Amino acid sequence: MKPRAVAASLPNRHLPNADWADRFELALDGKGMTAAQAAELSLGRSPRWVRDLLRLRNRAVSLIGLKSAAPKPGRLGLVGAFPVLSRTDDEVVLGFDDKHLDFRIVVDVRAGSAVNQIVGVTTLIRRHNTLGRIYLAAVMPFHKMIVPTLLEGVGRPGF
């Protein structure tokens, strides 16, 4: 099954002042996956083309003074390049704050039907200034391709 875009609502407790959000969900056959497992399977190991795009992004944003390298791990470590801010069996929250915007990535799992589970990825953004708005507009076409691709990795552990 392919990930699908679903409505994301604001405000959100993980970034109460967020002014932008989106969400993608994937239905998995079976049950028992934790949010931490889903986060690692999606964000912890990305395809080469995604890693290449992120390297290009890091080079470009370093020229204008934005964070270009992975931040220091949070007290709960990193998943991929993202600090873990909180973690339960049902939900992992990642992200950090920068001068142009703050962002959170929320990976969650919940029961679907009697025989499946839903894995969701919500992205929350709080733009601070014009640079944050320009940055979000520039990365949005890539974001809309990358997040569903990463979410597909949850459904294909050998990905």
Question: How confident is the model at residue 81, as a pLDDT?
Answer: 79
Provide the residue ranges of all domains of the chain, joining segments of one domain with +: 4-155
Element (H, E) at 80: none
Q: Which tokens is 133 given?
A: 């708005």
Reading the chain (159 residues) residue by residue, the pLDDT tens digits are 789 999 999 999 999 999 999 999 999 987 788 999 999 998 887 788 887 887 787 777 666 666 655 566 666 788 887 889 999 999 999 998 888 899 999 999 998 776 689 999 999 999 999 988 988 998 899 999 999 999 988 876 554
Sign of the four-CA dihedral 6, 7, 11, 16 = positive
Strands 82-87, 20-29: pairing is: unpaired
- Residue 44 structure tokens: 């912890």
User: How would you classify the pairing of strands 91-97 and 82-87?
Assistant: antiparallel
For domain 4-155, the CATH architecture is: 2-Layer Sandwich (3.30)
At residue 71's C-alpha, the angle toward residues 80 and 56, to 5°, is 70
Taking the model in full, what pTM does it have? Answer: 0.88
pLDDT of residue 159: 43
| Amino acid (1-letter code) at residue 59 | R
pLDDT of residue 63: 64
Compute CA distances 120 → 57, 71, 80, 100, 105, whole Å.
25, 24, 17, 26, 10
